[in-house]
Amino acid sequence: MTEQVVDVPYCPHPGQRKVHDSQARFRVMACGARWGKDRCTVNELIRQVVTMASESHRDGLIPRVLAWYVAPSFPMARQMWAELKHFIPQGLRNVREAEKAIEMPGGIVIEVKSADNPDSLVARGLDFVAVTESAMVSEEAWDMALRPRLASPGRGPGGQGGLALLNGTPKGRNWFWRAWMRGQDPLVPEWQSWQCWTSDNPHIRPEEVEAARRDMPDRWFRQEFLAEFLDDAGGVFRGVRRLLVAVDSWPPQRVTGRRYVVGVDWARHHDWTVVVVLDVTDPQRWVLVDFDRFNGVDYQVQLGRLKALLDRWKPSRVVVEQNSIGDPLATQLQRDVPYSVTPFTTTATSKRQLVEAMALRVEQGGLALPARQIGQSLDPLVPVLVNELEAFEYTVTRAGNVTYAAPGGLHDDCVMALVLAGHAGDGAGGVIVPRLVPGTNWRQKLGV
C-alpha cells in the first residue's frame, strides 16, 4: 500500500484535539450545542479506519475494516452522511448512495445506520462504531446490538477489539450518562469522557452564548450549552414564591388603557375549568389580576361565568384550549363575545413551547402573583396556582423526549390556563443559536 497526504478541510480546536489524542478504547463526549461534536467524530472515524487498514493481520477479514456511524434515526443521519462525503476526498471513495455506504481503498467500508430499530443492527464484527446524539439512542441498541459487535476476534487496532466514540447532548441521566460517568473513573482506563461546553469552541462568539444564557431557562441552558446531565424529572418553574407581591385588594379594578389577556383551560373528566387574567401592559413584568376555577357545573354555566369575567376585563385577546370538549365551547365563545378569541390545540410540542416560555419568564422574575402580607411573610392569594406551579415537573423519556405534566394524582389545569394566557400575551421569545465557523485544513495521512 502506498501513502498519499491529502488536505482535509478540518482544523480541530483544542477540545476536539483532546479527543483525537486519547488512547481510550471507548470515548464519550457530552457536548453543548455547536461545540463541533459530529465534525470531530467524523474525522476521528476516518483517521481510525485508515490506520487500521494498514495493519497486516487483517488479510483474512472481509471487509478488512468495517465501521458504522449510527444516528437515532435516518433523518438525523443525513448530516452525518453529508459530512462523511465532504471529508473523504472524491478520489478515495466509492459511494453507494442507496445503502448509505462508502468504500475506500484498502478494503475499508463505512456504513451509516439508524438505531430506531435495534433488531436491524445486525452485522459482522465492527472495527469502529460512532454514535451521534447517543442520549436519544435506546440502551437496547447499545447493549444488545452495538457493543457486542466490538468484541469480534481480529477487529479493532491490533485485533484487540473494536473502538467506540459516543457523542451527544445530555438528555437526562440515562445509559449515555452512565457511559460518561464510566469515562470519568480513572480506575477504568478503557473509558474516557469529556464535558464540552459550547463556549469551548473558539469559533463561537462569546456574546452569542451570553445571549442564550439570558434568553433560555437556566435548566435548558445548563443542558444545551454546558452539557450538564440533569435529573430525569424535576421542577419546571423555579423560584415561584419570589414572584409574590403584597396587594391591598383582590382582585383589583380594571384600569382603562391597560392591556389584559385571558387564558382558559376547560375541564375534562375530574379536572377543573380554570380562567387566568393577566395584565401584560408592562412586557417586563406581567401581573395576575384575576383567577377563577370551577368544576361540576353545566357547560352553559361555565360559559356564563367566563363571559361575565370577560366583560369585566375587556381583554385584548383570549386564548382557549380547543382539545376535546373545548372545541365546541371555543366556537360558541367566538360567536357570543365581542373579544378576540383564539382556539389553541395542545400537542406535546405546542405545550412544551408554551411551558418553556412561561418558565423563562418565571425564572427571570417577569410575573407578579398577588399575596397577603402576614408579618414578615407573604401568603399567596391564589395558593392553588402557586402549588401547581411548584409541583409541575418535566420528565426525560428513554427516547430523550421531554414531557411536562403534574405529578401523578395532581392537576395542572391552573398551569395550563396560565401558559395559555402567556401565549395570549405574546410571551414566547426566540432562542439564539450560535453558528459554527469552519476552520482551516487539517492534514492527515490517508492510505491509498
Q: With a cut of 80, say whether residue 123 has pLDDT above it.
A: no
Regarding predicted confidence, which is higher, 236 or 401? Answer: 236
* Cα gap 334→341, rounded to integer Å: 6
Q: pLDDT band for position 260 (50/70/90)?
A: very high
Q: With a cut of 50, say whether residue 430 has pLDDT above it.
A: no
> Between the ranges 26-40, 117-131, 265-279, 384-398, where is the mean pLDDT highest?
26-40
Stated pTM of the model = 0.65
Q: With a cut of 50, say whether residue 5 has pLDDT above it.
A: yes
What share of the chain has pLDDT > 90, as a percent?
Answer: 58
Residues of the chain with CATH 3.30.420.240: 233-424
Residues of the chain with CATH 3.40.50.300: 3-230
What is the per-residue pLDDT across 153-188, written as a single tens digit (0 to 9) for each? 999 999 999 999 999 999 888 899 899 989 998 888
Q: Which of 70-79, 85-94, 117-126 has the lowest mean pLDDT?
A: 117-126
Q: Are strands 273-279 and 260-265 parallel, antiparallel or unpaired?
A: antiparallel
Class of 3-230 in CATH: alpha beta
Domain 233-424 adopts which CATH fold?
Nucleotidyltransferase; domain 5 (3.30.420)
* Cα gap 279→349, rounded to integer Å: 26
pLDDT of res. 329: 86
Q: With a cut of 50, say whether residue 442 has pLDDT above it.
A: no
Q: With a cut of 80, say whether residue 398 has pLDDT above it.
A: no
The residue count of the chain comes to 448
Q: With a cut of 90, say whether residue 192 has pLDDT above it.
A: yes
* Cα gap 315→199, rounded to integer Å: 43
pLDDT of res. 269: 57
Q: pLDDT band for position 2 (50/70/90)?
A: low
Of 69, 62, 61, 76, nearest to 44 (Cα)? Answer: 69
Three-state DSSP class for 233?
A: strand
What is the per-residue pLDDT across 303-340, written as a single tens digit (0 to 9) for each? 999 999 999 999 999 999 987 666 788 889 999 999 99
Q: With a cut of 90, say whether residue 393 has pLDDT above it.
A: no
